Amino acid sequence: MKNILKCGRFDLDLSAGAPPQVMGILNVTPDSFSDGGHFASLEAALSHAEQMLAAGVDIIDIGGESSRPGAPAVSLEAELVRIMPVLYALRDCGKPLSVDTCKPEVMREALAAGADMINDIRGFQEEGALAAVKDSDCGLCIMHMQNLPRTMQAAPHYTDVVAEVIQFLRQRVDTLMAGGIDRARLSIDPGFGFGKTLAHNLALIQNLQRIADSVGLPLLAGVSRKNMIGEITGQPQGRRMAGSVAAALACAVNGARLLRVHDVAETIDALAVWRALGPDA
């Protein structure tokens, strides 16, 4: 059966037999560019986007607020100044544009400027978030997080991480649908590293298909360059590409239909090799 995610101007085929969609990460935060100047950041972001497009990215996720553990909060104005020029410049790039934000005002501005998807690590729980996306036709990614980025890695605790993530995602889906959002616009995400230990993250990877089936929606996985990759490989941030590609592939094998990654070209190659081995690989 076809499983289409309605995503603004685009319909994404997330059916089981179709190749997983690769979402390229485009961070427009001072820590993602070396000199921090605004014009230089824009230029660097656009050049990075061009590289991802040339590599065959399926969707670009633009973010102006870092969600790293302990990262400082960013004001509404600063977030808009970072992402809006990038969104305008990429609007006609031919691929869906996602905006990674928790702020309803940013959601509204981004959608008015042509964003196709909103990726909210808080699962649209902020007051006004549902209303901000309701009357558009954008896709939504609902992510699970325990606590908030400042404190989430202090002492993550679950009795049953898989069951609790499923329960949260089901509740958010029910709330969003009760609020008038079409189910065809929804995707879910267990939120790797967001209030999770390595053991929690591994349990989630092993159970991705169960999570997707239990909630009944396509699942997005974001493991790229995260601490869990460093914990397994012993590698620092700048040397986690191979581990990230391997983890993304494991997520795809286990049922993820969208992969949020930094290393677009390498992930696409890995997926191509896996898919060449046939449906049972």
Binding site for ligand 9MG (CB under 6 A): 63, 67, 100, 119, 121, 141, 143, 189, 191-192, 220, 222, 260
- DSSP count for the chain of H helices, then E strands: 10, 10
Q: Which residues have a Cβ under 8 Å from the Cβ of 233 and sit 6 or more positions away?
A: 239, 240, 242, 243
Catalytic, 68? Answer no
Beta pairing partners, 25? 61
CA-based nearest residue to 224, from 261, 252, 259:
261
Backbone angles phi, psi at 120, to 5 degrees: -115, 110
Q: Minimum distance from CB of 153 to ligand 9MG (Å)?
A: 13
Cα distances (angstroms) measured from residue 249 to each of 40, 85, 172: 33, 33, 27
Catalytic, 196? Answer no
Q: Minimum distance from CB of 197 to ligand 9MG (Å)?
A: 15
Q: What distance in Å separates the CA atoms of residue 30 and residue 214, rounded to the nearest whole number?
A: 39
How many other CB atoms sit within 10 Å of the CB of residue 50? 12
Q: Helices (DSSP H) in the chain: which residue ranges?
A: 38-55, 76-90, 104-112, 129-134, 161-178, 198-206, 208-215, 227-233, 241-253, 264-276
Tell me the residue nearest to ligand 9MG as measured from the CB.
222
Residue tagged active-site, from 82, 122, 225, 226: 226
Positions annotated as catalytic residues are 226, 260
